[in-house]
Amino acid sequence: MLLSSGSVEIEQAEFVDKLQKKVSTVNFERVAPLIGATLKNDRIVINSLGKDFIIDRLGNMDSECHIIPWVLVPMLSYITYGTHTDITGNWISFREIRGGIEWQALFTNRCEEPLRKLADDNPDLLHDIIDLFMGRTIDWYDADIALILHPLPKFPILICYQAPEDDLKSNLSIFFDECCGVNLHIKSIFTLCHGLVQMFTKIAEHHL
């Protein structure tokens, strides 16, 4: 059964409320260094794509950026998730993350495929993303462009894009450091990536 937009909004609001209540039980002093965050004025500060997001002990968020659900939910989930580990430098596909197989088709359709088409239509987009969101390129992956972004401090993602050539269509894959599946639930990982693609789409429409 498909949910109406109103039902989805209610479910989202209830989930946010649940996460905010969970945040109130978190020991900020203990968790902050585990997730690569800092403490300031009794609030936890998390850097996402070069921008600081500040969360108080009631789960309220403040930032120079507009707060939208795809940022809020993964951020609160990141703080309250039960396991934390450091970046490993080992890259895996979405399906290799715990629970990823069940979400793979949706991830391909809502994240990788739209981003591939967006990069096809906007050749400079990925280069602009590097400048806008503190990304960096790597040269050890065989692609026209391969860039690493940090949507969360201990949650690096690798976007690899090969432009179309002759009869070959383009290809785009998103990889994750092995720590990502330890530091965030698969549903929040999908929400985060889907939100990034939506944001990149708006950037392409209004700024490029």
Classify residue 189: in a domain, yes or no: yes
Classify residue 168: in a domain, yes or no: yes
Is there a single domain that holds both residue 68 and residue 97?
Answer: no
Cα 162 to Cα 145: distance, rounded to the nearest angstrom: 7
Is there a single domain that holds both residue 99 and residue 158?
Answer: yes
The string of pLDDT tens digits covering residues 65-107 is 776 767 889 999 999 999 999 999 999 999 999 999 999 999 9
Classify residue 164: in a domain, yes or no: yes
Is there a single domain that holds both residue 39 and residue 97?
Answer: no
Is there a single domain that holds both residue 139 and residue 76?
Answer: no
The string of pLDDT tens digits covering residues 112-135 is 999 999 999 999 999 999 999 999
pLDDT at site 64: 77
What value does the mean pLDDT take over residues 146-171? 96
pLDDT at site 14: 84
The string of pLDDT tens digits covering residues 21-51 is 999 999 999 999 999 999 999 999 999 999 9
Cα 185 to Cα 78: distance, rounded to the nearest angstrom: 8
Domain end point (choices 80, 114, 135): 80
Is there a single domain that holds both residue 15 and residue 67?
Answer: yes
Residue 9 has pLDDT above 80, yes or no: no
Classify residue 41: in a domain, yes or no: yes
Classify residue 14: in a domain, yes or no: yes
Is there a single domain that holds both residue 121 and residue 175?
Answer: yes
Structure-block tokens of residue 148: 């690493």
Domain end point (choices 80, 104, 125): 80
Is there a single domain that holds both residue 118 and residue 39?
Answer: no
Residues facing 171 on adjacent strands: 162
What is the number of alpha carbons within 13 Å of residue 99 lying toward its C-beta?
10
Is there a single domain that holds both residue 152 and residue 65?
Answer: no
Residue 15: which of 87, 101, 90, 77 has the closest Cα?
77
What are residue 90's phi and psi, to 5 degrees? -100, 125
Cα 25 to Cα 101: distance, rounded to the nearest angstrom: 32
Sign of CA dihedral 141, 177, 61, 6: positive
Q: Which residues contact 121 (CB under 8 A, 6 or more apart)?
A: 204
Structure-block tokens of residue 49: 């794509």
Residue 100: which of 115, 87, 112 has the closest Cα?
112
Is there a single domain that holds both residue 102 and residue 171?
Answer: yes
Domain end point (choices 58, 80, 102): 80
pLDDT at site 70: 79
Is there a single domain that holds both residue 48 and residue 72?
Answer: yes
Residue 157 has pLDDT above 80, yes or no: yes
Residue 133 domain boundaries: 91-206
pLDDT at site 8: 47
Classify residue 127: in a domain, yes or no: yes
- Give the dihedral of Cα atoms 78, 23, 49, 65; nearest 10 deg: 150
Angle at CA 169, nearest 5°, toward 201 and 194? 30
Residue 5 has pLDDT above 60, yes or no: no
pLDDT at site 1: 39
Is there a single domain that holds both residue 70 and residue 113?
Answer: no
Classify residue 185: in a domain, yes or no: yes
Residue 15 has pLDDT above 90, yes or no: no
Average pLDDT in the chain: 91
Count up the domains in the chain and report the number. Answer: 2
Classify residue 85: in a domain, yes or no: no
Is there a single domain that holds both residue 126 and residue 187?
Answer: yes
